[in-house]
Amino acid sequence: MSDFAITSLLIVALFALLGSGVWIGLTLSGVAWIGMQLFSSRPAGDAMAITIWGSASSWTLTALPLFVWMGEILFRTRLSQDMFRGLAPWMQGLPGRLLHTNVVGCTIFAAVSGSSAATCATIGKMSLPELARRGYPDRMAIGSLAGAGTLGLLIPPSIIMIVYGVTAEVSIAQLFIAGVLPGMLLALLFSGYIAGWSLLNPGRVPAADTRATLAYKLRESRHLIPVMLLIAAVLGSIYGGIATATEAAALGVVGALLISAAQGSLSWETFRQSLMGGVRLYCMIALILAGAAFLTLAMGYIGLPRHLAEWIGGLGLAPWQLLLALVGFYILLGCFLDGISMVVLTMGVILPTVQAAGIDLLWFGIFIVIVVELAQITPPVGFNLFVLQGMTGRDIAWIARAALPFFVLMLAALVLIYALPELATWLPAQMRR
């Protein structure tokens, strides 16, 4: 049977299982088992057991459940309300005023969360009621939150970066460092758009509440101290070479528990809820990773990645053409799958092609994360759209239209990172010296 026929059969099996409601992780394992049974001489059961055990027992992956748990703990604290109090006085003088709290709040919380959905939900819980009460337009408030919430994937510590690092065998600490400047770039683009929009629509931005003095701003800034200390502890320990990503994640969990206890929001019930929430989310991710590892092995035995890489190499595509095709492919895939599933499902096939094109895997990791961010606000399965729909009661199509300008800004960021790859590679190079 030809490679095209084998690929077509496996793709049909994949979407048939997904369409029937089978969990994504089990679907990936099922497709891999079909592929190995039909097109490989190695026993599928033996390969499945060894591969799934190997993927589940990876020490590098230990950071993942810890960062997930840290985000769950912080989600149940008063951190979001305190952040709004600390940020609002500083935002009043900017064009767009309190709309910037969405961007700045998401940027700060992303540095202790690692999850796009958690960032969007936590900051939305803080900002949307306040912005609505003060008369800010819903479309801009919700759209800016949908866009800025995706920063949870790019600004370290990032769950998707851990997944990519394990899959592509790239240093997770280097990926974290590489995400800093692109994350700041996206935040500046978002705030710049808000400022430009407000200058063009001055009548739609409410007047400042009061003219805050510098002393008042500094006094209110004390509410930012807990989260800034946690960021310094987690990221500082990684960048300073004091701790690995896993050790920093454990430090983050302890710090989150201390913050929760200091705020009086730590009880046995919130502890249990955060632990169970973290376990549920990690089990879902782990099942997907295990299925993807088995699928990658099966594809290797069948030879599809090598044949695909040779076929694409034979097309003579320039690197920019390959990347452009991948952007379109991942945006399309994002209409049906979540970000983690997209990465683990495709890396086994995509990475040989990317390496053959001479693309740096560290830079490509940041590129992929931004593309996955785009998928977070792509209907019908954009996770941030689901989060905002649950919080606002708005239709997903309406939220997607509100987020469209920020979708375009993320595309612009991809172009900038391609034109200036140093945005992703310069800081890791400095840290290696």
Residues in the chain: 433
Q: Which of 128, 58, 8, 76 is nearest to 292 (CA)?
A: 58
The pLDDT of residue 433 is: 62
CA angle 120, 122, 123 (to 5 degrees): 70
> What mean pLDDT is predicted for residues 169-174?
87
> What mean pLDDT is predicted for residues 369-374?
87
> What mean pLDDT is predicted for residues 334-358?
76
Domain spans of the chain? 58-266+303-432
Decide if pLDDT at 196 tops 80. Answer: yes
Q: In degrees rounded to 5, what are phi and psi of residue 170? A: -115, 145
More reliable by pLDDT, 245 or 237: 237
Decide if pLDDT at 262 tops 70. Answer: yes
Decide if pLDDT at 240 tops 80. Answer: no
pLDDT band at 389 (very low <50, low <70, confident <90, very high): confident
Instruction: Measure the CA–CA gap between 317 and 222, rounded to whole angstroms.
Output: 53
CA distances 378 to 59, 254, 375, Å, are: 33, 35, 5
Alpha helices in 134-208 (DSSP H): 138-149, 151-154, 159-168, 172-178, 180-200
Structure token pair of residue 432: 């290696």
User: pTM here?
Assistant: 0.75
pLDDT band at 408 (very low <50, low <70, confident <90, very high): very high
